[in-house]
Amino acid sequence: IKHPDVRRMLMNQKAHAEGMRALVYYTGWVQDQEVLHPDDERWRKLDDLLLPMVKGYSSEKAYELLAQSLQVFGGSGFTSDYPIEQYIRDAKIDTVYEGTTGIQALDLFFRKIARDRGETLTWLAGKITETVKGGGAEDVFVAERELLGKALDDAQGQVGVMVGALFASQEQPAELHKIGLHATSLLDTLSELVIGWLLLRHAEVAHAALDGAAPADRDFYEGKIASARYFARTVLPKAGLRRSLAEQEDLALMDIEDSVF
């Protein structure tokens, strides 16, 4: 565990696992609000918006992280001595059934964002903005809030690029391919944005609980803070690259002859 690369892999798994659990629990809470407030359509729409993130992003990331779990063990991880090799085979089905990840990504953009005219996403962005602007003079999460705010800006920027392509497709149908080429990356960005937001909220609670915490609980709270900081600093910045790639898309990939593949 003192090896830097092993440490990196373990923290990457910890932060993502805690973040995806947070995403699932938050979605469950939203479904509770939907039942408790049946006259408020926002909860049902938010539930719909979160669904492809829970199903699409989490299944892909879980499969990827299981491969990293195996990597931690080195060559012995490939053997049946450890259950990870079985988990990897079993987990892959989650990215395939009930709508492959690519289909989930198209559902997210066309049915949950475009058809909704971005209203629910804007509402969720407002909640995230409250956290970005939170904290007082003694705030220990200044850097993480700034990174979350930058990721929110980049996510909104990529959505804007893809909405622009949607409108342009009315006169140039090929513009729709820009959405197809970047829908999965948008799914990743929005999922990581929500996860980064939830992890930061966890970190705020954990930091407040440190004062007077029993020694047995301190590692748990410190771990929550470490997960949020790692995710903010190493995962959230990816949103900027995805936005840039969407902005620069020239459809060259669609022009390649099929036989080249």
User: Catalytic site residue 41?
Assistant: no
Q: Exposure pattern of 96-118 as b/e (b: 16+ CB <10 Å)?
A: eeebebeebbbbbbbebbbebeb
Answer whether 175's CB lies under 8 Å from 207's CB: no
CB 175 within 8 A of CB 168: yes
Q: How far is CA 47 from CA 20, 82, 159, 206, 232, in A?
A: 15, 37, 19, 26, 24
d(CA 21, CA 132): 21
Ordered DSSP codes for 211-225: TT--HHHHHHHHHHH
Q: Among residues 41, 98, 130, 247, which one is catalytic?
A: 98
- Give the residue from 93, 194, 122 showing the smallest Cα distance to 151: 194
The rounded distance, in Å, linking the Cα atoms of 22 and 224 is 11
Number of neighbouring beta carbons within 10 Å of residue 81: 10
Residues annotated as catalytic are: 98
